[in-house]
């Protein structure tokens, strides 16, 4: 069995009957008392982050996960159909695994799916995607100093707030974690 000396960033462990990824850890040896490991853990199922302290040498259960590349094909009800890029096998993944970032996924976008055996643990979508604006009010020259924003509908159907100078057919980089406009990009 592994212990706290095996900690490293990104390691996935079983803790409190759930799967957590180690975001950050620090071994601490105080002048008085036993050593301990201060850690920040992220729940892989719901994304919640918690801080925990382990005694030095405390046993932990490491979970071996397999990361596979998939391509998002299309949406079918509450599921997203994805295809393994090496075997071309298609699977249905519940939309819950994608979180709010699913609104910014284009068909044929590459994603990573983490498996524990045959069970899907989590889905990792690209942090930034480039999307085309299909509908927005016309922009005006010189209206950029105020930092005002307007709504813009993207090719995936999602609507985000963008600066006033953005026009229809512009390509935008969007942060899938927050749904925020990042910058205008070339097609």
Q: pTM of the predicted model, to two decimals?
A: 0.74
Shared domain for 140 and 180, answered yes or no, is yes
Which tens digits make up the pLDDT trace of 7-45? 999 889 999 888 899 999 999 999 888 899 999 999 887
29 SS3 class? coil
CATH number at residue 164: 2.40.50.140
Q: What is the pLDDT of residues 124-178, one digit of tens each?
A: 889 999 999 999 888 666 655 667 888 999 999 999 999 888 888 899 999 988 8
Strand partners, 161: 151
Per-residue pLDDT tens for 54-102?
A: 998 889 999 888 889 999 999 998 999 999 999 999 999 998 888 888 8
Q: For 5, which DSSP code?
A: G
Residues 75 and 99 in one domain: yes
Q: Answer with the one of 93, 109, 124 that is the final residue of a domain.
A: 124
Which residue carries 């105020």 as its tokens? 146
CB atoms within 10 A of CB 77: 8
- The residue range of the domain holding 120 is 66-124
Please state the length of the chain: 187
In the listed set 62, 87, 107, which residue is the last one of a domain according to the structure? Answer: 62
How big is the CA angle at 131 (ends 130 and 136), to the nearest 5 degrees? 140
Q: What is the Cβ-side half-sphere exposure of residue 21, based on CA atoms within 13 angstroms? A: 13
- The CA dihedral of 96, 101, 107, 112, to the nearest 10 degrees, is -70
Number of compact structural domains in the chain: 3
Give which of 100, 112, 76, 114 is closest to 176, Cα–Cα.
100
48 and 19 share one domain: yes
> Same domain for 58 and 91?
no
């Amino acid at each position: 069995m592994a212990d706290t000396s095996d900690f490293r960033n990104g390691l996935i462990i079983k803790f409190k009957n759930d799967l957590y990824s180690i975001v950050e850890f620090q071994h601490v040896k105080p002048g008085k008392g036993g050593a301990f490991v201060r850690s920040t853990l992220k729940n892989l199922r719901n994304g919640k982050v918690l801080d925990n302290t382990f005694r030095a040498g405390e046993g932990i259960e490491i979970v071996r996960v397999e990361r596979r590349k998939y391509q998002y094909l299309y949406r079918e009800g509450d599921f997203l159909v994805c295809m393994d890029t090496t075997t071309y096998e298609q699977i249905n993944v519940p939309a819950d695994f994608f979180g709010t970032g699913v609104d910014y996924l284009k068909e044929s976008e590459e994603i990573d799916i983490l498996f524990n055996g045959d069970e899907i643990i989590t889905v990792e979508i690209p942090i930034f995607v480039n999307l085309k604006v299909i509908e927005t009010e016309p922009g005006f020259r010189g209206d950029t100093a105020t930092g005002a924003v307007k709504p813009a509908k993207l090719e995936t159907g999602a609507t985000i707030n963008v600066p006033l100078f953005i026009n229809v057919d512009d390509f935008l980089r969007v942060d899938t974690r927050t749904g925020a406009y990042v910058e205008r990009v070339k097609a």
